[in-house]
Structure 1
C-alpha cells in the first residue's frame, strides 16, 4: 500500500515512542490510505487517497 495520499500529498510522520520510564524509540505515524476508484477527467482511475480527502469531497468516487 502506498504511504502517501496522491491528492493532498499527506505522508508518514516520524517521532519518538516514549515509554513510562521515558526511554525513547523511533516510530512512525501513517495516514489512513485507501485505494479507491476515482473520476479523473471523465475517466476512472485507481488512486491512493487518504480518508480525510474522501470525506471532505476532494475526490469523486467512481461507481
Structure 2
C-alpha cells in the first residue's frame, strides 16, 4: 500500500466532477520515493513522501 513511512500520508479518495456535474470516483496518490535512510543507526530502504524529504525529516544514508 502507498503510505509514507514518516508521516503516514496515503491515498485519498473523492469525486471527479465534470462540467455537466457527472460524478465519478477518483484517487489522489502521494508522491512517494524509495530512499535509503538511517533508521535506528543503520541504513534501511524506506518509502517516504517528498514533503518529508524536503523538510529534512529523513536523514539519507550514503
Q: Normalising TM by the smaller chain, what interval?
A: over 0.9
Equivalent pairs, count: 62
Runs of at least 5 residues in structure 2 that lack an aligned partner in the other structure: none
SS of alignment partner, residue 30 of structure 2: coil
Unaligned 5+ residue runs, structure 1? none
Cα deviation, 1:28-55, whole Å, max 9, x if unaligned, reads 0010000000001221000000000000
Give me the TM-score of the superposition, normalised by structure 2.
0.95
Partner of 1:51: 50
1:37 equivalent to 2:15? Answer: no
